Chain A
């Protein structure tokens, strides 16, 4: 639960220090992150906004240990990750980080329940526990009646809810959402943000990347990304 009395007293569970990420595209060199530092505390709902190409998705990937920074370091629950191999990083992702992607990235041959179960299966949960937990999470995201449906049989909003349920499967320390409303209409997108906000109120730490300022404003903490640099953004900004 967030520390309502003093949010700054909550422990830091995800921190980044002086992150740099350089991509080489042929002869050209693109600096996507230029010394980004960030602390995410337990119970935070952080939104990172910025125009396309500002580096916000790259930042989320690096924070989520999917991508490796060219320089700097990321620590999950105080454990630095820069010296870890791919398997240990995968282990940290599985245990402590939950991902929600813009395109949902569900396994299209599996049902909603199986998609949620797979994260639990990877973590080694027993079969009965997997099933119970998957059903509980799907009910929580409002899909109690759609558990046996495959992604193709679900609407965009429902798919994203399944993705959120999957991300929550292993009770992650941080939920990382990359443009979670990017492929949804505004009404459905609002529903997804409502769900993220509700999860946050229940204690789930959320870091969300979006280019939609209206969506970002629902977060408790708004950060602005521009040209690979991160800064605070005023809540009354008009343009992401």
Chain B
């Protein structure tokens, strides 16, 4: 019966093609959304992991009150207060720094930090933010001293500034060569001139890929917020000091809140829950649309072929053969749609996430999408197939 199924599909070329395209779009949507969800989850985990053992101090502003904003761009603390906080006993002052966070470009996807994020901090204390991140090109630390026109760029930020940089460098990436602002080149940030000292290794997290690390005064000058910082990164002397330091800071500065690694993880979890709910709606909508599409198309196909189905029944076709014929057609459409949706999703993911697409593509997600949507497509064909089985053989003769 495969020959009949194939002949039917080829006969209705346009309809078959549109159905396959529609199904492929749903498969693509499912894969893209699931992949981005996984990427966001893993990235937030990495970000939380990066700040293990650190305390983040921010103001109790409208966003800061919940601690949900990440990074706390809208938080504002007087720099003098920040210096006093760093002087709190049991704080490792040499690995703590006030920070200015400021967005220069919109985030590439929900929950992501801005694609280019100013991170102004004390020179020599970059490790509080960068940890052990190494350099892809050039340096991974700012030059000591008073030089203000220096910046370290995450790979996304380097790509963001490339079009206007005085020089660019091409580096290989999973999406092909990408142009970055070259090490040593000059870039302009809101009218201020900076020299790129280094590009940070991209295998980190979204926050570090987006950052534009610069001296604190330079960030304050660019953002015109002299004397104010966004947050404070505190490194307690030991893990036993986390709770006492938090208590001491919050007691001395009631207007500030101290976010621990655990709270950061909880906040990340809440953020993820919101996004996951939205993404799940999209994912299950794509599954439902695929199933509905198959149901409608197969119902129409069965109705169109009443005479042929009746003829087959009249010459003795068993119900299982008719059932298998309709299910086989549905399986072919679903399979072709999946075969089309998977490569499209790879292209979409590359285009959406750019260099971040490195290692994101998951065969497991693709296999799951194919299995799930094809499965739903096949199940959705059961009703049309049962309808086909119920065609009375006498119908074939009534058409005469």
Residues of chain A touching chain B, judged by Cβ–Cβ distance below 8 Å, are: 57, 61, 64, 66-67, 86-87, 90-95, 97-99, 101-103, 105-110, 114, 118-119, 121-123, 166-167, 170, 178
Contact = CB atoms under 8 A, between A and B. Distances in A.
B209 interface: no
Interface of B: 1, 3-4, 7-8, 10-11, 307-308, 311-319, 321, 393-394, 396-397, 399-400
B321 A86 contact: no
Contacts of A64: 314
B7 A99 contact: no
Contacts of A94: 315-318
A107 B314 contact: no
8 contacts: A66-B394, A94-B315, A95-B316, A103-B400, A105-B397, A106-B311, A110-B3, A170-B316
Contact of A122 (B307, B318, B399): B318
A-B CB proximity, top 10 nearest: A94-B316, A93-B316, A109-B7, A105-B311, A103-B400, A66-B393, A122-B317, A90-B316, A109-B11, A102-B400
Which has the most chain B C-beta neighbours within 10 Å: A110, A166, A178?
A110
Given A66-B394, A110-B3, A110-B7, A86 B319 contact: yes
Contacts of A105: 307, 311, 314, 396-397
B318 A90 contact: yes
Nearest to B319: A87
Contact of B314 (A91, A93, A95, A170): A93
Contacts of B311: 101, 105-107
A106 to B, nearest CB: 8
Contacts of B319: 86-87, 90
A70 B393 CA distance: 17
Contacts of B4: 107, 109-110, 118
B321 A122 contact: yes
A99 to B, nearest CB: 6
Given A66-B393, A101-B397, A107-B4, A91 B316 contact: yes
Question: Which applies to chain B's interface (DSSP): helix, strand, loop or mixed?
Answer: helix
A92 B313 CA distance: 12
B11 A66 contact: no
B318 A87 contact: yes
B327 to A, nearest CB: 16
Contacts of A67: 394
A179 to B, nearest CB: 8
Given A105-B396, A118-B312, 19 more contacts: A66-B314, A66-B394, A90-B313, A90-B318, A90-B393, A93-B315, A95-B316, A101-B311, A101-B396, A101-B397, A105-B311, A105-B314, A106-B311, A109-B4, A109-B10, A114-B3, A118-B1, A122-B315, A167-B315
Contacts of B400: 101-103
Contacts of A93: 314-316
A118 B314 CA distance: 13
Nearest to A68: B394
B104 to A, nearest CB: 61
Contacts of A108: 308
Contacts of A121: 1
Given A109-B8, A122-B321, A61 B397 contact: yes
Nearest to B10: A109
Nearest to B2: A121
Contacts of B313: 90
B399 to A, nearest CB: 7
A228 to B, nearest CB: 17
B394 A122 contact: no
Contacts of A91: 316, 318
A101 B4 CA distance: 20
Contacts of A167: 315
B315 A166 contact: yes
Contacts of A98: 315
Contacts of B321: 122
Contacts of B312: 107, 118, 122
Contacts of B314: 64, 66, 93, 99, 101, 105
A2 B307 CA distance: 35
Contacts of B393: 66, 90
A86 B318 CA distance: 9
A119 B315 contact: yes
Nearest to B307: A105
B399 A103 contact: yes
Nearest to B9: A109
Contacts of B3: 110, 114, 118
A166 B312 CA distance: 11
A97 B308 CA distance: 18
Nearest to A179: B400
A95 B316 CA distance: 8
